[in-house]
Structures are given as C-alpha cells and as structure tokens.
Structure 1
Amino acid sequence: MTYETIDFKVEAGVARLTLNRPDRLNSFTVRMHEEVAAALESLDEARCLILTGAGRGFCAGQDLGDRAVAPGEAVDLGHSVETYYNPLIRRLVSLPMPVIARVNGVAAGAGANIALACDIVIAAKSAKFIQSFAAIGLIPDSGGTWVLPRLVGQARALGLALTGEPIEADRAAAWGLIWKAVADEALDAEVDSLAARFAAGPTRGLAKIKAMIRASWGQSLDAELDRQRDAMRELGFSDDYREGVAAFMEKRTPNFTGK
C-alpha cells in the first residue's frame, strides 16, 4: 500500500508508525484506518512498535468531516466503531511485542484511548489527554469506558469522562493513567532508548508478560497461578531463556533472538 496519511518504517527491529495528518491533529479518516491496519500487518521484522503523531498533536480522534452529516441527520456510529476502532484496539493489545505510545501533544477522544491501548505511554509534559466524548453526547469508545476505571479508579474515570476536562501529562502519570511524562526535549531520547531496549530483548518473554498481565484482569488467583505455571514451562524451553542464563553466568551481554 502507498501511504498517504501515515508514515511507517521498520529499522533495527523497531517499527515506527506515525499518524501523519498534522493539519487535522492526526484525526482519523477511513483512509487512515485502512493504512494503519495495513501497517500493523507488516511487522514481520519488528520486535517493538512505536505509535506517534506528526506535528503538534498525537491524535484528535475521529475527523468528523470525514463522515460529514447534515444537521439532524442520523448516522450509525456503531458501524464505524465496529468496523474501524474496535479492530484497531484489539490489534494493538494483542500484538506479540511491546507497543509504545509516544504522545507528543494533545490526545483527544478516540486518540486518547488509542494511546491508552498501548503497553507503555510516554508523553511530553506539554501533552494533554482529553475524553472529549460527552461534549457531543457520546461515550468514551475505543476501550475508554473499560480501561479508564481500571487505570485510575471509578471516581477519576467518571470525572474525566463526564467533564471532558483535559488532564496534563504530569498528572496523568501521577494518577497511573500513563507510564511516564518527560520534558518535551527529552521525549525522543526516552522513547528511542526504550524501543531499542525492547528490540534487543527477549521478545517472546516480553510478549508473554504483556499477554499475561492484560488477561489477568479476568482471572481468579487460582487460575492465574495455573497460567503462570504454564507460561514458565513454555518460556523455560525458549532459546532466549537459555541465552539469558548463559549470559548471566558468563558475565556478558545477552544476544537475544526473540525465540
């Protein structure tokens, strides 16, 4: 596919997917959804994914002009969610590699929740997260109503969703909404360093950590203990585990292959 609304590249095991409609704060159109979906199916050489936005924003959610509706005209938003946003969220959370959201500016509406679907969110201190749905009579989609109370608790989730008030990156980190807020000028170095670490790491083990923690929210302790047993058995036979132990014993840097 020839990309018109995103930039996508894979280098040294790191895939970088940049939403590239800066004049529209990288808001989603059908074309952008199609291109993002195609890029996420082209990660064969990647061991880590960075998702970010071009210009001064991360993503402003849906481009309302892309589904222009006359005043008073009905539109099936469920179709849009089911066809585009739900598959995107499901894909991000199930990718067998760490996904880093590099939030360089405003993340609003679905854009905020797409960022929160990533495994690690690192934001510039000037960035803001906005659950802007209530202002137009909608609910936080793209996983919002599910993830918000799990990350920040019901009281804060309701406050964010009902008021639509922006939350600054520093406060988002203090609340546990995101992993880290860093100075704007340090954002690239912070994200690139972590991505390089993941790309050189034991990818199979990192993917299993991601899968286990995400699935644990629906498990009892007894069930989770059994899942841990099974995961440890599986990973104990991996090349990366053997390499990690050998490198530790030999006091050298491990050479993980992700297998």
Structure 2
Amino acid sequence: MPVHVERCEGIAFLTLDQPQRRNSFDLSMAVALRDAVRGLALAPPKVVLLRSRGEHFSVGGDVHHFQQLLQRSPDARSAGVAQLVGAVNEAVLGLTDLPCPVLGLLNGAVAGFGLSLALGCDLLVAAEDARLVYAYGAIGITPDGGGSWHLPRHLGLHRALALALLNTPLSAQQAQVLGLVVEVVPADALPATGLALARRLAGAAAAAQTGAKRLLRAGLEGDLASALDRERGVFVSLCASDDFAEGVDAFCERRPAFFG
C-alpha cells in the first residue's frame, strides 16, 4: 500500500510509503491517503504520527501523472484532476478535523502538496535536511490541500506571498524561526524524537487536547466575544470530566497526573 496505518499504544503511525517516487501523489496515492484518514476518523487514536519512508517527506503531485492527464481530452483531463484534488483535499480536511493531535515528521523535500499536507498537522518536527518549498508555481499551477488557507495564517500575508511568488525554499532552521516547526533535529534522530513526542501527547488529557484544538482553530475566525463563548462552553463541559478531577488532584498533591 502506498499509504498505511499501524496502531500501537494509542498512537496511529500514518506512513507515506512510496520512497522510490519520493512520495509523490498520483491518484492511487491520493485515494490511499484519503481512505487511511477516513479510517482514523472512524476510530480516532490518542495521537497520529504522520511520517514518510525514504529520503523525502513528499515532493507533492506526481508530475508524470499530470503529464499523462495532459494527453487526455480537455473534459477527461479536468475530470482526472478534479478526482485527484478532491481526494487530497478530503484527506487534509479529515486530518485537520481529527479530535486528537496530529504530529508530522519532515525530512528532505517537503514540496507542493507535501507542504500543504504538512501544514494540516498540529505540530511539526523537522530533520536538519528538510526543505520546505511552495513549488506549485514551478509547474504553472496554484495550491491544493489547503495551502492557500494555511500559509497566510502561519506566516502572514506578505511572507506567504514571498514564498509563493519567489518559490525560495525554507530550510528547517528558517521554518523553526517562523514558527512552522517546533523542533529541528539531526536526520537520524527524527524517528526517536517523533516517537517520544507522540508518547508525550498520548499521555495527556484527550478531551482537553480536543477542546484546545477546536478552540484555537476556531479562534482564527470570528470575533473575541464568540471565542469567549466557545471557551466558556468547553471549559464548563470539561469540568465534569475525570481527567479534570485527576489533573486538579495531582497538582494539589504535587504528583504526576495520570489521564485515562
């Protein structure tokens, strides 16, 4: 399978597994990712760890697949492109909507849809060799996978425009300075670092993490009054949870909290 999921100790390992193609996306890869995310939505884990096999996270769309589409009639070409983009868009939306944290591990090229997919994660850790590239303009096309939504929100409008119009790669270190990634590590330390962080996330209070994700993402839109109303509703709801009681007791007793 070009994309597969393994589960262990509350962690779902979502792996892009086409290293010979630098994890580029044709229709089969896009559908495999979409279906994998659908499965995660049906039975959410405590945390999702998105990773890739090989030297590159993903170079984005498979240009050879696009070349094949160009040989078709205009109607067939448009239908093929719509099918591909529809699958990757559903995958990103589904990943972003998961109630659990989604952690992405980046290495090598993170380009085009690969960048859009990465930005759909909640947290990113990058290897020192990671390079984040807009890339769409190089083949005369515009973003898919939510790139146009995420980039200005992460970077601000003018930095996002510079990335898109100049197509200058961002190093892992630059991405960390800009706040896109939380940590940069040597390439050989990426798997262990990611696993340690995933375990840390899996041990936290799940309902509180879900609430934080929804509140912070919703806070990107709307006014302060609406945000305050949402915060109050979630806070009051979680006050009735076992995790909240455990967290308060553990703090007062000066001991580690153990969340269910």
Task: Give the TM-score, by structure 1 length.
Answer: 0.91
Match of 1:146 among 140, 146, 149: 149
Ranges in structure 1 where 5+ consecutive residues have no aligned partner:
none
Please say if residues 13 and 45 of structure 1, whose CA atoms lie closer than 8 Å, have aligned partners that are also in contact. no
AA aligned to 1:235 is L
What corresponds to 1:6 in structure 2?
Answer: 3
Match of 1:114 among 114, 117, 120: 117
Matches within 5 A, 1:198-217: 198-217=201-220
The alignment status of 1:94 with 2:91, answered yes or no, reads: no
Name the SS of the counterpart of 2:57 in structure 1.
Answer: strand
Measured against aligned partners, the alpha-carbon deviations of 1:170-201 in whole angstroms (never above 9, x if no partner) come to 00111123322222232222211110011111
What corresponds to 2:140 in structure 1?
Answer: 137
Cα offset, 1:150, TM superposition: 1.3
What corresponds to 1:37 in structure 2?
Answer: 34
Whole-Å separation in 1 of the counterparts to 2:101 and 2:174 = 24
Whole-Å separation in 2 of the counterparts to 1:163 and 1:194 = 34
Whole-Å separation in 2 of the counterparts to 1:149 and 1:60 = 21
Measured against aligned partners, the alpha-carbon deviations of 1:77-104 in whole angstroms (never above 9, x if no partner) come to 7613652122111111110000001002
Please say if residues 124 and 183 of structure 2, whose CA atoms lie closer than 8 Å, have aligned partners that are also in contact. yes
AA aligned to 1:244 is G
Identity within the alignment, %: 34
Name the SS of the counterpart of 2:121 in structure 1.
Answer: coil
Please say if residues 116 and 178 of structure 1, whose CA atoms lie closer than 8 Å, have aligned partners that are also in contact. no
Please say if residues 22 and 58 of structure 2, whose CA atoms lie closer than 8 Å, have aligned partners that are also in contact. yes
Whole-Å separation in 2 of the counterparts to 1:187 and 1:79 = 35
Q: Which moved more, 1:68-77 or 1:247-256?
A: 68-77
Matches within 5 A, 1:23-102: 23-43=20-40, 44=43, 46-67=45-66, 68-70=68-70, 74=74, 75-76=77-78, 79-80=82-83, 83-102=86-105
Match of 1:252 among 231, 252, 255: 255
What corresponds to 1:177 in structure 2?
Answer: 180
Whole-Å separation in 2 of the counterparts to 1:183 and 1:25 = 20
Q: Which moved more, 1:174-183 or 1:199-208?
A: 174-183
The alignment status of 1:195 with 2:198, answered yes or no, reads: yes
Whole-Å separation in 2 of the counterparts to 1:17 and 1:66 = 23
Cα offset, 1:131, TM superposition: 0.6
Whole-Å separation in 2 of the counterparts to 1:91 and 1:185 = 30
Please say if residues 10 and 45 of structure 1, whose CA atoms lie closer than 8 Å, have aligned partners that are also in contact. no
When residues 69 and 79 of structure 1 are mapped into structure 2, their CA distance, relative to the original with a 3 A threshold, is closer
The size of the alignment, in residue pairs, is 254
When residues 39 and 85 of structure 1 are mapped into structure 2, their CA distance, relative to the original with a 3 A threshold, is closer
The alignment status of 1:18 with 2:15, answered yes or no, reads: yes
Cα offset, 1:42, TM superposition: 3.2
Ranges in structure 2 where 5+ consecutive residues have no aligned partner:
none
Whole-Å separation in 1 of the counterparts to 2:250 and 2:198 = 21
Whole-Å separation in 2 of the counterparts to 1:23 and 1:126 = 18
What corresponds to 1:105 in structure 2?
Answer: 108
Measured against aligned partners, the alpha-carbon deviations of 1:151-187 in whole angstroms (never above 9, x if no partner) come to 1122211111112221111001111233222222322
Whole-Å separation in 1 of the counterparts to 2:53 and 2:188 = 15
Give me the CA root mean square deviation.
1.8
